[in-house]
Amino acid sequence: MLTYETWDNNIQEFNSNNLEKGALDVLKWAYEMYGDDLVYACSFGIEGSVLVDLVSQVKPDAQVVFLDTQLHFQETYEVIDAAKKRYPWLRIKLKTPALSLEEQAINHGEELWKVNSNQCCSIRKIIPLEEELNGVKAWLSGLRREQSPTRKNTQFINKDERFRSIKICPLIHWTWKDIWRYAHKHNLPYNTLHDNGYPSIGCKPCTKAAIDPEDIRSGRWSGTGKLECGLHEG
């Protein structure tokens, strides 16, 4: 089994010239390799809707975790409910932080995301994912190379230094048009904020409509210079 400890750069290659640009082949390899030792950390944006559908074709009872910061848009919870109905066998879990928002305010001050967004992301996203990945060998992510400069070198299979794990990214070659073409073709449930200028959706306080139409993540932490929450820095 390929693990963080046994990482080998000569890993299996996948054909990205087929209809799914390698995604289904990667998923089949991943679930054959890891089975229940593979967790999909899903944000339930449009990429998440697509990857959930692809995952369900390969492993209908896959483990899917949503990092519920308790600061998400109502529309995000609605698409999760729709996914649960459409894919009843998937084990979709909402993972909440150890600290409630009230406890966080007491310990770190009101609206921590405004004062120290990195600490807020750590408390409400990074530490919870660390807890979920404890004891499993690998995790899935819906990263695409096109999304941002920080993601342009993402591979199908990555050695994740941040979580000391294997991170698998089946959608790296998919474009924005590919994602939407698939979603519409298969009538997938998706976050309706996408219809209102929000191509990338995170926590409500730190997400606005995209400022730059050429940069789908320009509405995330706008004006701060921050590009990532920390989950994909490693």
What is the three-class DSSP state of 35? helix
Q: Which residues contact 32 (CB under 8 A, 6 or more apart)?
A: none
**Positive or negative, the Cα torsion across 110, 116, 119, 125?**
positive
Q: Which of 42, 120, 121, 229 is catalytic?
A: 229
Which tokens hold the place of 124? 């409400």
Residue 2 and residue 21: Cα distance in Å, rounded?
23
- Verify whether residue 229 is a known catalytic residue: yes
Residue 28 and residue 156: Cα distance in Å, rounded?
12
Q: Which residue has the tokens 């409400």?
A: 124
Tell how far CA 18 is from the center of its chain: 23
Backbone torsion region of residue 6, taken as left when φ is above 0, otherwise alpha when ψ lies between -120 and 50, otherwise beta: alpha
- Spatial contact of 207 and 201, defined as CB atoms under 8 Å apart: yes
Enumerate the active-site residues.
Answer: 229
